[in-house]
Each structure stands twice: as structure tokens, then as C-alpha cells.
Amino acid sequence: MKIYHAADIHLGRTRLDGLLPDGDLAAAFLHIAQAAVDGGADVFVLAGDLFDRPQVEPGHLRQAQEGLRILKDAGIPVVAVEGNHDKAFVHSDEPTWVGYLAQDGLLELLRPKFNPDGAVLEPWDPVARSGSYVDHRGVRFVGAGYLGAATPAKVRQILKALDGTMPHVLLLHAGPDYFVGEGGGFSKEDLAGMRQKVTYLALGHIHKPMNHDGWACNPGSPENCDIREADYSSKGGVETGRGYAVVELDPQVNEKPTSLTILSNPRRPICKVDLDCSPFGKKTRDGMEALVAAAARAIASANPPQGAVIDLRLKGEMNLNRIAFDHATTSERIRVAAGAFVVAVDTSKLNLQGEGGEAAGALDGALPREALERQAIQQVVGDHKLCGLTGDQDGLAALFFELKEAVKHGSQPEVIAERISSSSLVDAVQKGRAAEASRQVEAAGDSVEVAI
């Protein structure tokens, strides 16, 4: 059996404040669907986050339908689960647009059910268009989907309910931290139990590709949902596969796939350009003009492909009291001067100075907000010695910044709560506080004994 596995399509994603067309995401999905047809796929697996948000615009629904019809017309069944972006709430049974596509006959949406005794796995009902598992060509596909912080515990319940007489493919929308045993994830015993009952673990959620021993795989996001994801396409300077996986299973072999390859699909190119602002960062006149001209020259030297996003990374020193800096205006001026498609200016590595060489304060429309916010958060975390953290204040500051960004971009409160509860850093602080409280109780007891 040949399986084509994709995840995290994120149709409808708004990128760079709408400067990038959402058609890029649809084009990536269409390419993978056609590749599955051309490659003779027996089953197409979607491991969550087909859409970027629970409320889907009509145009984005049509994009999904177009890709799925390519597969349906070729007679390739699509087995899918919902990701955290597809559902409004983690444990909600409210209808979703992925469910609508299932009712429309374009895919088989698998959802597990749970009761006080554990997982309840029901076979796919082609009339009701619902179920927890479905069999194709001697292989059983089981849907776990997105389970949030309860992932390890609920997957154990699902494993207990599995029939081990045939190869199983488990669709799980969860990150490597849940998988490799870090941050409260699966233990070694859990992984051993999964290997005994699961022939292939089809993952989604984390957009970075991962191949674990040819048995578990996350193919990575087909298109860059964020320009930083461009770094996921290479390792050590060498290009790697990212976008979809081609998996071959022998229905007579339960151990693991006979082959597993992560392949890349075409995506909008992103060209990284570094520019040192120090030579003109303290000009008293025409400083911004010098910045725009230098940026245009640097972009031309990089010779980016047509239609590329320019990831312009500024570094060095800049005096904001001498150069008025606004991200949107500056990006547009550089784009026009360079004749580029889109320019995204990154100021996180820029050392900002005020008059007299002091760190720049807040100026309306003139701050690299991300850099200053990170600095402020790091200072707050550094000023508060939290129990349980052994030199990982930077990690906690990064978590706080991530949560702040999630709130800024409108993430659901339950998703943010799940991210907090699943963090190993938060768990370490809680354990540290508990240990400190225990020490205080013991110390108080010793004092009472001495007094007696």
C-alpha cells in the first residue's frame, strides 16, 4: 500500500498582514493532491489543520474542495483528522468545516470517543459519514486528531482499544514534545507500547518536518505559514524534504513501513538578506534614504528569484532619534526601490541607540517592537527568581513572548491554556514551588521541635 501523507495546509492563512496571496497555500495543496494521483497513491492522509481557522471563508472552502475532488475523481480515499485550527475548542463536538467536507463525501473524518472507561473506537459508517477508524486494503486507519495536553493519556486509552491483528496507521495532530518524551510527553514505555500496536504514526501540528526511525513522521507545512518556516527546509545548510511524505506499507508486516520519504512541493521562495546598518545608522541627514539605497543594493546582489519574499534582516546600530523608522513604510520604500515582490523587515538583531549612546526608548512608529518586547519580558523574568528554573529564564521569557503573540493574533483561549499546561517550564516552576513549600513546612517543624 502506498500512502501520501500531508498536514498543516492552513487554507485561509493571512501572512505578512495580507501582503502574500492565500492562493500560495491552495497551490501547495493542489500540487500534493496531483502528486498523489500521479504517484499511484492508495490512500491520502490529512493529519490536521486543513484550514487555518474554524470559521472558513467561501473561497477557502472552494480551495479545499478543488484539491479533494482531484483525489476523489482518481478514486483515492482521503482519511483525515481535525487539528487545533480546524476546531473552535479542543473537546468540542460542534460541527466543523472539515466535517462538512466529510458529509459532502470528499473525505473520511475520523474522531475518537471517550467515556469513563477509556476510548471508544467505532468503525466508519459510510451512511452517517462518521467513525473512529476505517479499513483500506488490509490496513486500519485510526483517528486521534488534536487532543491538547491530554494527548499522552488519551493515546494510551486508544492503544488499549486497538485490534493488533492488522497494521494500524494512527493519525495524531501533536508535536514532537508529546512524542519524544520531552515536556511531559510520552514515556519510553509509552513509545514501546505504540511501536507494538502502530505500524505508522502520521503526525501534524509542528510545521517542521520530522522522520523518527522510519516509523513516525511529520512531513512539515507545505507552504510557509510564517517566513521563519523557510529555515525548516534545510538542515546544516543542506536542503531537506518538506511538504508531504510518501509511505509504503506491507499489509503483512506490522512493524513499520517498508519505506518512508519526505518530499518537497513548490512554494513561494524566501530570500534572506542581511544588512549592517551601522555605516548610516547615525547619519544626521538623509539617514533613511541611505538605508533604503543600501537595502536595495543588498537585495540586488542576492539576485532573488522572481516573486520571492525578501526577508531583510537588519543588524548593527541605528540611532532612532536621527532616523525615523516605521516598519510598513520602510518595507514599502525598500520594495519599490528594489523592484521586489514583498519585503519583510526584521529588526530583532538591530541594536537601537538614543542620543548619547543610550538604549532607545519608546517612540511612536519607530520601534522594532519585537526586539523591545523580548527585552522587556526577559528583564521581568530575570528580576523574579522562580523556583524550579535552573538557568532557563530565557526559555521562560520565550514562552511568555509566544503566548503574547498568540493573544495578539487572536488564538482561542483554550489553545493558549493548552500551550501553558503542556510547557515543561511551567511544570518545572510548579514542582519547584511545591518543593519549596515542603521545605518550609519541614523547617517550621524543626523550629517547633527545638522550641519544645
Per-residue model confidence (pLDDT) at position 364: 36
Span 348-387, pLDDT tens digits: 788 766 544 444 433 333 444 555 666 677 677 666 666 6
The answer to whether residues 271 and 305 touch, using CB atoms and an 8 Å cutoff, is yes
Instruction: Fill in the DSSP letter of residue 223.
Output: S
What is residue 443's predicted lDDT score, i.e. its pLDDT? 65
> For the chain, which domains are there?
2-264 (3.60.21.10), 270-367 (no CATH), 370-452 (no CATH)
Q: What is the model's pTM?
A: 0.79
What tens digit of pLDDT does each residue of 286-299 get? Answer: 778 888 999 999 99
Cell of 119: 476510548
Mean pLDDT of the chain: 84
Q: 228, 233, 262, 232: which is closest to 245 by C-alpha? A: 262
Closest listed residue to residue 167, CA positions, set 248, 110, 262, 244? 248
Spatial CB neighbours of 90, under 8 Å, sequence gap ≥ 6: 84, 146, 147, 148, 414, 415, 418
Q: What's the pLDDT band for 169 if we cut at 50, 70, 90?
A: very high
Q: Are 108 and 79 in contact (CB under 8 A)?
A: yes
C-alpha to C-alpha distance for 310 and 293, rounded to whole angstroms: 15
